Amino acid sequence: MKKKVFITRSILSAGIDLMKDKGFEVEMSSIDRPLTYSELVEKARHFDALITMLGDRIDANFLEQNKHLKVISNYAVGFNNIDIEKARSLQIAIGNTPDVLTEATAEVALGLMISAARNFHSSQTSAAQGLWRCWSPTDHLGHALSNKTLGVIGFGRIGHRLAEMASAAFKMRVIYTARTLKTNSFNAEKVSMEELLKRSDFISIHVPLTSDTRKFISERELGLMKSSVVLVNTSRGEIIDQVALIRALKNKKIFAAGLDVTDPEPLPIDSELFLLSNAFILPHIGSATFEARSEMSLMAAENVIAGLEGGELKGRVV
Ligand code: NAP
Ligand code: GLV
Ligand code: GLV
């Protein structure tokens, strides 16, 4: 019997071709929305492996009802949507896609730093509203990146790559927090969270979402930051207390925020964040390049193949 793989959303074809070449039967969801939780619980019963998206909730109940699965390959590097301990206890392999999206996501973080610091959102809006009457010597003033201090919270693959870009392109000084000391070629300095919050001109968040990092940035942390700081988040929305962030942006306690991730996602259109001139919001597009998404397709498929054939997953979480 052919092994059966279900992909919960339509993905680029590289990985699908690979799995078909291996002789697997591959079905891909053709509807233009995520399956609901109960649709996915039911659907998974008929397959040996899944390729899941970061919004698919793979909790203990889902896994309990689908213990027959050999492998779940998440089409993302983050895996906070999956109950890892439960998967481990049921011996279901869990894969992810590290490295291949590092460049794409670091580019978005750098883009958000520039966009938020240089008022891209409010400037574009004012021009489109007919307020661009003449060149102005004093309108739309923002903060330079060059020679400033960048604080990276979570100096892993993406945080390190962003720091490298900022250091090379803008001669930024880099300070970071992580649980362990990291080597780097641009004199980035490991500091305490408090020191990072106080010293940074730009702060970019790159820790994974875990029980330790949920609401990592709340009222107290925002209060320690400089009023000129630009805060960027490309990790997960829940790492910031969004109510506290909105208050800080409104009261100009911080200069601006650039967010690729929000809490919840999608961000409701009536969210106050969309009304703030100092918030620059993207709809979670960090890995959305043709290059990264194609490599993610391949890597997610390779993880499925390894999981079904008893090999070692390249991106193995469990
Ligand atoms: P990574 O290489 O695992 O880096 C995570 C870093 O966070 C590590 O340096 C780790 O430090 C640090 N860390 C973990 N827990 C911490 C804690 N409690 N306190 C301080 N530091 C902590 O992961 P990555 O590949 O860079 O990805 C990071 C995250 O980005 C993913 O988890 C995902 O949520 C997000 N992401 C978003 C997009 C997007 O589209 N916006 C795309 C890709 C990824 P140690 O090494 O010392 O443990
Ligand atoms: C995207 O957010 C990812 O975790 O890959
Ligand atoms: C601006 O466009 C300048 O020429 O300084």
Tens digit of each residue's pLDDT (9 = 90 or more) over 37-62: 999 999 999 999 999 999 999 999 99
- Going from the Cα of 47 to the center of ligand 1, the distance in angstroms, rounded, reads 31
Q: How far apart are the first and last CA of the chain?
A: 26
- Going from the Cα of 287 to the center of ligand 2, the distance in angstroms, rounded, reads 7
pTM: 0.98
Tokens coding 218: 């709340």
Question: Mean pLDDT, the chain, as a whole number?
Answer: 98
Report, as residue numbers or ranges, the catalytic residues: 236, 265, 284
Residue nearest to ligand 2 atom 4, measured at CA: 78
Is residue 116 scored above 90 in pLDDT?
yes
DSSP state of 151: E
Q: What are phi and psi of 221, to 5 degrees?
A: -65, -40
Instruction: Determine the 3-state secondary structure of 310 from DSSP.
Output: coil
Tens digit of each residue's pLDDT (9 = 90 or more) over 153-206: 999 999 999 999 999 999 999 999 999 999 999 999 999 999 999 999 999 999
Nearest ligand 1 atom to the CA of 285 is: 40
Residue 8 has a pLDDT of 98
Q: CA distances (Å), 161 to each of 60, 93, 103, 303, in order?
A: 34, 28, 7, 24
Residue 57 has a pLDDT of 98
Average pLDDT over residues 287-305: 98
Residue 1 has a pLDDT of 87
Nearest ligand 1 atom to the CA of 76 is: 43
Which residue's entry shows tokens 């800080």? 248
Is residue 28 scored above 90 in pLDDT?
yes
Report the range of poorest mean pLDDT among 29-33, 268-272, 293-297, 303-307: 29-33
